[in-house]
Chain A
Amino acid sequence: MASRFPYEDPSQAAEFALGYFCRLRADSDILATWLGLRALIQVNITRPEVSVYVNTRDGERMEITPGIAPEPPALTLTLSADTFHCIYAGEMNVFLAFATRKIKTKGNVALIMKTTWTLPQAIRIYRQYGVELGLRSFEVEWTAKASAPMRSGDLPEPAAATHVERLLGRRLRTRPEVCIERARYYTESMRQSEGEPQVIRQAKALAHVLENLSVHIEPDEATGAVGIVGAITSKVLGAGVYPEGIGSRVLGELETIGFREPNPFTVTNEQIRELRDEIMPYWRGRTLEDYARAQWSPEVKEAVDQVAPFIATEIAGIGHMLLNYAEILGKGLEWYVREAERLAREVGKQGSGKSGNLESGVAEDFYQAVAIACRGVIRFAERYAQEAERLASLGQDDILPHRRDELVRIVEVCRRVPRHPARTFQEALQAIQFVLVAAQIEDYESAFSIGRLDQLLWPTYQADFEAGRLTEAEALELLQCFYIKISHSIPLFDADVSLAFAGMTAFANAVVGGTDADGSDATNPVSYLAVEAMRRVNTQQPNFGVRIHPGTPPEFLDAITRAMADGLQNIQFFNDEAIVPALVNRGVPLEEARNYAIIGCVEPAVPGVSFTSSDAALFNLGLCLELALNNGRGRLFTDQLGLPTGDPRSYTDIEQIIDAYRQQVAYLVGLMVQALDVLAEVHAEFKPKPFISATTGDCLERGLDLTWGGARYDFTGVQGIGSATVGDSLAALDALVFRESRVTMDELVAALDADFEGCEPLRQMLVNRAPKYGNDTPAADRFTRLAAEIYCQEVAKHRNPRGGRYQPGLYSVTTHVALGLVVGATPDGRRAGTPLSQGVSPAQGRDRQGPTAALRSTARLNHRLVSNGSACNQKLNPTFLQSDKGPETLASLLTGYFQLGGMQLQWNLVDREMLLAAQEHPEDHRDLIVRVSGYSAHFTDLERVVQDELISRMEHVL
């Protein structure tokens, strides 16, 4: 239960709120931030009603006055007292509060966005304030919350649970904790290595962390037949701190991270103290963000701070790698050590090493660094072997005989891999786990992907099977253990990143199926086992996908859709016929393109030889349209964000608007590229990644770290968000303004300015009387295609500092919510601040003709340009899936979509929450079709009682 505002009486409430604002003013950081706004801001609290206005217009004083401002304020915020309390108590994500309209705004939203970075201080002050006023609940509640278990924490462990079930149960029941060991040892090493070449410092820092990070083997990892070990932190379920990157942003929030919603973490006062007093001081002025800020131009800095035109993610770290696991399993890390040493001697003899393209890296240093880093990873595995040995040597009373056998086996496996080639299935999985952990510790925990799991594991599976060493059941169990193990990598994000990338997953992708280099089907028995293992555990990790091509065995697809009917939820589909041509279009040779795997969410890349920097930024297409329709100014962010493309009221046909949109896209893509180029250079200079580079072709051959341009295929991937919002807006303008003359540009612009207040009939007309993308209407679909195409073309014009190309993606994770916050009303009838359309899916609730029509529309996009991947979500009713025909029909739907040229597809099961949301916001859910034995109806057209019954029924289905 969220806690409540402490007063019900309006006068007491007003006194409390005013007192709090005065406290805030007393904090020098907060005062400086507010004075910088130079604005009049009205805050209206409801239930009980309190009005306060804050005036900093002269830039010198911050006046706090009760009541309604005598002059029109630059911004008005309206929120309930409980919302106010939850935000300042650190229980509610402020961005989420904006997104869900718990805070209503009128005026320049940019003003309040600029103050959110002081929120951690404000929260601390609120807490002290409450305690000082003697509000007992403040102290009691926080103490209780910080130590409370997670939602599922109270579940008893089932008595007859199998070894896998116990592992999975522990993962789900355990409350995540912050682990500061990585930060501590990384910083320790960096302090000691000042003055040495950066690439060597990074290698030493990695090796130092791996030498000191606490190793631990969980009980059940060794009580069954098999076990995979190797944890990324010292905790059972922990997140590391990366002080050089995202860690600097998290620091300010540590005190409230224990009870924030969503995604709370346990953190102790001692950890906070060590981070704040011992670790972070070293990083002042030395974080990736600090280095980048020093180089960004004022325009770029402004754009980054607004978080409106784009979200630049690589301030936090890069991640999104697909290491050469096939080669690691085949050769072992010791081979890399020897090779690096040999190459170091070779270039050393030549007198001077080859220099990197950014002139910061020297080949000899790089090779030395590779050897240090790889030895560090080998050492990490050895420490696990020693820990297993220690456990195995415990007395008879402490350990069961079969557990001892298993520990002995773990000792052998950890001594073998990743140092030497993997000979068995267990060794292969164990090697991948160690390498995955090491790579994440080196860079940060985001989207280190596995690649083609079935292809990687097939040689050892076959060898084991033929030698009679492994049964199918044992392989299945090992795979489940592996999935659970990698699900223990969870990233520690700050509040606004948590909103943009919701769900606490590290996005480690794995795919099965697809073709070999010749185009022949590559499905093998491990492909089936990998699907079945996922059905059984349904872990968030790996982010699991299947490659589909015309030669995919029907029985494989059948097995997958049946598994879906039987509970498999974590699954998405990729179309080889769309992805391979998109990669070839970017210059990847056909044979290598056919070997693609997926990074992170949906980003295709050739495994082992690519550095695609695939989630470098998320770009706001909705804002570009807004700027085109407002002469370069934002409607919520009233600053001049874009180019002055002219008074929108002067437009007389749709081509002029499209042209203005194109100019805004080109301009802001240019700014984004500047921001990212600097970040790429910062990474190359300050954060080379020798271990990741060693295991990414062709870095060793070239003597270049991958941040210096060592990878064979080099890209920077940036995603366009809101294609359908833009497309539907253009379609509405075209139909209603220019063709049918049902509304004038003047009226439309005035309505957008007013966020449709007082213009509901016009808004309804925009929603209902103009064609919409997603209904198989070419006249509407062409605009969404165009909106995306313009973005893709602009992006592909640019090259990154490593010489690689920028390439576009069309997927949003949950950033369509965050980026929607800053976009005012749009001509598709969307209200200000609400989410943009998601990925390449139709805008929320706008597709009314069922799944085949929506897929035909999506297939009309120019997927060949979208070489960084696209995401299409479709809702699926679980009852349909469970019907006799469900699995087969789903397979047909998928196959048909892919024959039409679709790129990616995943289904979201309709659940009770979705139906409840549809009752509350019917307009956003008009696509929702309920089917009862062939009889189907749009949910939002049903009467309340029938809806209620369907909702209660849903409780039983799921």
Chain B
Amino acid sequence: MSLRGVTFNVQRFSTEDGPGIRTTVFFKGCPLRCAWCHNPEGISPRPELIWYDVRCIGARDCLRACPVDALELTAQGMRINRQRCDACGACAEACPAAALEVIGRTWTPEALLAEVQKDTIFYETSGGGVTLSGGEPMMQADFVLAFLGLCREAGLHAALDTCGAAAWARYKQVLPLVDLVLYDLKIYDANCHQDGTGVDNCTILDNARRIAETGQPMWIRTPVIPGYTANVENIAALAKFIADELPTVQRWDLLAYTNLGQPKYHRLDRPYAMESVPLLIRAEMEALHAVAAERVSTAVWSGATRQEEA
């Protein structure tokens, strides 16, 4: 049987995941459980059904179509029995309003290549390419390896956006086919990292060093999250680590916390730990950026900040 990869989104015209105009392939499945995750549909490796309140017209075709009787339309909205639902997609197919959607599309490496090649002309005019992100693409390392091989043959610039929590042996296989690594560093302190992401950061820091050792160009990405990563000590520690141990880093992005992922939690019936957390204020971001830039001159920050009274 040939390889299959599962994605939750293939986003064209991505402009922040590496240089130029890019197509970002979001792979499904992630080893981390970050409290602030803005793509919760990328966590589980399995396809999942979601329901869009704003689109539903109450036609109830979905209820009739479901072979396992997993749906119930209540006054509070659609109830999806996630024990029963195997994301077969019959309801989504039946819904006239596209209010139900199975998140998780399966690809062969060849089909995915054909999809990302649609924008080749824009990669050429902008110096862009394809970015593998997630979730965590390294969770599907065999597929990623095959897909990257095809990208290399097709002459596409390929970037790998990774959280670093995979076996080094896997990175070693993949790296020769990658032109740029986008590497997430969230929290430097091991305990805090465990608390915020559910995973120890020992492997992550170690892999970062090893990638840098290979001479691979890297962009570091740090989500700036109130209560987790957004403190001076953390940013200073990360800055020191980057400055001292990662000589191939070309850029460090500090990405301000965004609440745009909030509706997705509701649609997946998951609790959202950041429910009432406001956006950062501009001055906080600027202060943290100053700390970062002290050691790492390529640090930049972006993202939305809280609306302040003029």
Q: How large is the interface on B (under 10, 10 to 19, 20 to 34, 35 or more residues)?
A: 35 or more
Can you list 16 contacts pairing A with B, beta carbon distance less than 8 Å?
A761-B57, A761-B96, A768-B98, A851-B13, A856-B119, A883-B302, A899-B121, A899-B125, A933-B16, A934-B14, A934-B255, A935-B260, A937-B260, A942-B260, A943-B262, A946-B260
CA distance A887 to B65 in the complex (A): 48
- Interface pair A765/B121, CB less than 8 Å apart: no
CA distance A946 to B265 in the complex (A): 14
- List 5 tightest A-B contacts by C-beta distance, closest first: A934-B16, A892-B126, A765-B96, A933-B302, A764-B96
Report chain A residues within 8 Å CB of B20. 889, 892
Q: Does A885 contact B (CB under 8 A)?
A: yes
- Interface pair A943/B263, CB less than 8 Å apart: yes
Tell me which residues from 413 to 440 in chain A have a Cβ below 8 Å from any Cβ of chain B: none
- Interface pair A896/B118, CB less than 8 Å apart: no
Q: Does B59 contact A (CB under 8 A)?
A: yes
CA distance A941 to B266 in the complex (A): 12
- Interface of A, helix, strand, loop or mixed by DSSP: helix
Q: Does A776 contact B (CB under 8 A)?
A: yes
Given contacts A768-B97, A892-B125, contact A853 B118 (CB under 8 A): yes
Report chain B residues within 8 Å CB of A891. 125
Report chain B residues within 8 Å CB of A933. 16, 255-256, 258, 302-304
Residue interface mask B65-102, A partner, CB < 8 A = 1: 00000000000000000000000000000011110000
- Interface pair A852/B96, CB less than 8 Å apart: no
Tell me which residues from 11 to 55 in chain B have a Cβ below 8 Å from any Cβ of chain A: 11-17, 20-21, 38, 52, 54
Shortest C-beta distance, A133 to chain B (Å), equals: 47
Q: Does B2 contact A (CB under 8 A)?
A: no
Shortest C-beta distance, B251 to chain A (Å), equals: 11
Which single residue of chain A is at the shortest CB-CB distance from B14?
A934
Report chain A residues within 8 Å CB of B14. 934, 936
- Interface pair B54/A941, CB less than 8 Å apart: yes
- Interface pair A856/B260, CB less than 8 Å apart: no
Q: Does B259 contact A (CB under 8 A)?
A: yes
- Interface pair A896/B121, CB less than 8 Å apart: yes
Contact partner of A953 among B57, B98, B261, B304, CB < 8 A? B304
Q: Does A338 contact B (CB under 8 A)?
A: no
CA distance A889 to B118 in the complex (A): 17
Q: Does A148 contact B (CB under 8 A)?
A: no
- Interface pair B12/A896, CB less than 8 Å apart: no
Q: Does B294 contact A (CB under 8 A)?
A: no
Report chain A residues within 8 Å CB of B124. 896
- Interface pair A852/B302, CB less than 8 Å apart: no
Q: Does B171 contact A (CB under 8 A)?
A: no
Which single residue of chain B is at the shortest CB-CB distance from A942?
B263
Contact partner of A932 among B126, B260, B263, CB < 8 A? B260
- Interface pair B11/A850, CB less than 8 Å apart: yes
- Interface pair B12/A852, CB less than 8 Å apart: yes
Contact partner of B122 among A768, A849, A893, CB < 8 A? A893
Q: Does B61 contact A (CB under 8 A)?
A: yes
CA distance A931 to B54 in the complex (A): 20
Report chain B residues within 8 Å CB of A889. 15, 20-21, 126
- Interface pair B12/A935, CB less than 8 Å apart: no
Q: Does A151 contact B (CB under 8 A)?
A: no
Report chain A residues within 8 Å CB of B260. 930, 932, 935, 937, 942, 946
- Interface pair B15/A880, CB less than 8 Å apart: yes
Report chain B residues within 8 Å CB of A930. 260
Q: A764-B96, A893-B122 are in contact. List 4 more A-B contacts (CB 8 A).
A: A850-B11, A852-B12, A853-B12, A935-B303
Report chain A residues within 8 Å CB of B255. 933-934
CA distance A711 to B13 in the complex (A): 46
Q: Does A895 contact B (CB under 8 A)?
A: yes
Which single residue of chain B is at the shortest CB-CB distance from A922?
B54
Q: Does A136 contact B (CB under 8 A)?
A: no
Shortest C-beta distance, A897 to chain B (Å), equals: 8
Q: Does A494 contact B (CB under 8 A)?
A: no
Residue interface mask A851-870, B partner, CB < 8 A = 1: 11100100000000000000
Which single residue of chain B is at the shortest CB-CB distance from A763?
B96
- Interface pair B259/A946, CB less than 8 Å apart: yes
- Interface pair A953/B61, CB less than 8 Å apart: no
Which single residue of chain B is at the shortest CB-CB distance from A760?
B57
| Residue positions of A touching B, CB distance < 8 A | 760-765, 767-769, 776, 849-853, 856, 880, 883-885, 888-889, 891-893, 895-896, 899-900, 922, 930-937, 940-943, 946, 949, 952-953, 956
Given contacts A933-B303, A946-B259, contact A888 B126 (CB under 8 A): yes
- Interface pair B15/A885, CB less than 8 Å apart: yes
Which single residue of chain B is at the shortest CB-CB distance from A762?
B96
Shortest C-beta distance, B105 to chain A (Å), equals: 14
CA distance A762 to B95 in the complex (A): 10
- Interface of B, helix, strand, loop or mixed by DSSP: loop
Shortest C-beta distance, B17 to chain A (Å), equals: 6
Shortest C-beta distance, B296 to chain A (Å), equals: 17
Tell me which residues from 96 to 130 in chain B have a Cβ below 8 Å from any Cβ of chain A: 96-98, 118-119, 121-122, 124-128
- Interface pair A850/B12, CB less than 8 Å apart: yes
Residue interface mask B182-225, A partner, CB < 8 A = 1: 00000000000000000000000000000000000000000000
- Interface pair A764/B256, CB less than 8 Å apart: no
| Residue of B15, B119, B128, B304 contacting most chain A CB atoms (<10 Å) | B15
CA distance A883 to B118 in the complex (A): 25
Report chain B residues within 8 Å CB of A761. 57, 59, 61, 96-97
Report chain A residues within 8 Å CB of B258. 932-933, 935
Which single residue of chain B is at the shortest CB-CB distance from A855?
B122
Contact partner of A952 among B15, B118, B121, B307, CB < 8 A? B307
CA distance A311 to B280 in the complex (A): 54
| Residue of B13, B95, B263, B266 contacting most chain A CB atoms (<10 Å) | B13
Report chain B residues within 8 Å CB of A765. 96
Report chain B residues within 8 Å CB of A942. 260, 263
- Interface pair A768/B96, CB less than 8 Å apart: yes
CA distance A891 to B11 in the complex (A): 20
Tell me which residues from 220 to 270 in chain B have a Cβ below 8 Å from any Cβ of chain A: 255-256, 258-263, 266
Shortest C-beta distance, A919 to chain B (Å), equals: 10
Shortest C-beta distance, B276 to chain A (Å), equals: 11
CA distance A880 to B13 in the complex (A): 12
CA distance A768 to B92 in the complex (A): 11
CA distance A399 to B14 in the complex (A): 60
Shortest C-beta distance, A739 to chain B (Å), equals: 15
| Residue of A769, A930, A932, A949 contacting most chain B CB atoms (<10 Å) | A932
Contact partner of A946 among B16, B122, B256, B263, CB < 8 A? B263
Shortest C-beta distance, A917 to chain B (Å), equals: 16
Report chain A residues within 8 Å CB of B38. 935
- Interface pair A893/B54, CB less than 8 Å apart: no
Shortest C-beta distance, B9 to chain A (Å), equals: 10
- Interface pair A956/B126, CB less than 8 Å apart: no
Report chain A residues within 8 Å CB of B128. 892
- Interface pair B118/A776, CB less than 8 Å apart: yes
Shortest C-beta distance, B167 to chain A (Å), equals: 28
Shortest C-beta distance, A77 to chain B (Å), equals: 28
Which single residue of chain B is at the shortest CB-CB distance from A884?
B300
Which single residue of chain B is at the shortest CB-CB distance from A768?
B98
Report chain B residues within 8 Å CB of A953. 304, 307
CA distance A702 to B121 in the complex (A): 48
Report chain A residues within 8 Å CB of B12. 849-850, 852-853
Report chain B residues within 8 Å CB of A776. 118
Given contacts A935-B38, A936-B11, contact A769 B96 (CB under 8 A): yes
- Interface pair A892/B61, CB less than 8 Å apart: no
- Interface pair B21/A946, CB less than 8 Å apart: no
CA distance A761 to B99 in the complex (A): 12
- Interface pair B125/A852, CB less than 8 Å apart: no
CA distance A849 to B23 in the complex (A): 11
Shortest C-beta distance, B277 to chain A (Å), equals: 13
CA distance A768 to B61 in the complex (A): 14
CA distance A952 to B305 in the complex (A): 12
- Interface pair B125/A895, CB less than 8 Å apart: yes
Report chain B residues within 8 Å CB of A936. 11, 14
CA distance A851 to B119 in the complex (A): 11
